[in-house]
Amino acid sequence: MLKPSECFAGPISDAKTTSLILPRTQYEHRSLIVVADGKKHAVCLDGIDREMFMAFECESNEHWNGVHVPGIEFELDETSLTNIDGFFPPLGSMVRSDDKLFIHVRPDGQTMGRGGTRLPILSGLPKCAERSDACFTRWQIVLGEGEAKQELHLVDVSKSASAR
């Protein structure tokens, strides 16, 4: 359960920091809002296949709405590490590279193909060695710490990783 002070309702353009957006109706989407390269992006975390992990700029988007949960953090499942040398990471996977954490997404408008692109969601992390990436196919969004920690959303794209 969320405390009233941990959430608010509004369009996705109202997000100020990395946030989870929870749908209020069947027509809204669970999504992740991140700021990358000074621009706000939404990443769909639910929906049909072509919508899953689709990302689009949302700085002035007043049409997508939901309940905002700011102050979230990410946990990476170390048992889900997969080799991506020479391969595209699975859509929805998290990749640690350089001093950043990326989510591998489908850019808005791309409907076919495996490709995708990396969208940075955290920076200033301990630096990885050059040309050394770590890809996680299971991760979760959490709020709080210790006994107050809540697991808000789990992503598991391990099946698409094993399909390569």
- Domain limits of the chain? 4-162
Q: Give the pLDDT band (50/70/90) at residue 122.
A: very high
Show the CA angle centred on residue 32, arms to residues 72 and 71, nearest 5°.
15
Confidence of residue 113 (pLDDT cuts 50, 70, 90): low
Better pLDDT: 154 or 83 = 154
pTM, two decimal places = 0.90
Backbone angles phi, psi at 68, to 5 degrees: -85, 135
Q: What is the mean pLDDT of residues 134-158?
A: 95
In the chain the beta strands, taken as DSSP E runs, fall at 8-11, 19-22, 31-36, 39-44, 54-57, 65-70, 73-76, 81-82, 94-97, 100-107, 117-123, 134-136, 138-143, 150-156
Give the integer Cα–Cα distance in Å for 24 and 53: 19
Per-residue pLDDT band for 53 (boundaries 50, 70, 90) equals very high
Inform me whether the pLDDT recorded for 110 exceeds 70: no
- Percent of all residues in the chain with a pLDDT value above 70, rounded to a whole number: 93
Check whether 162 has a pLDDT greater than 60: no
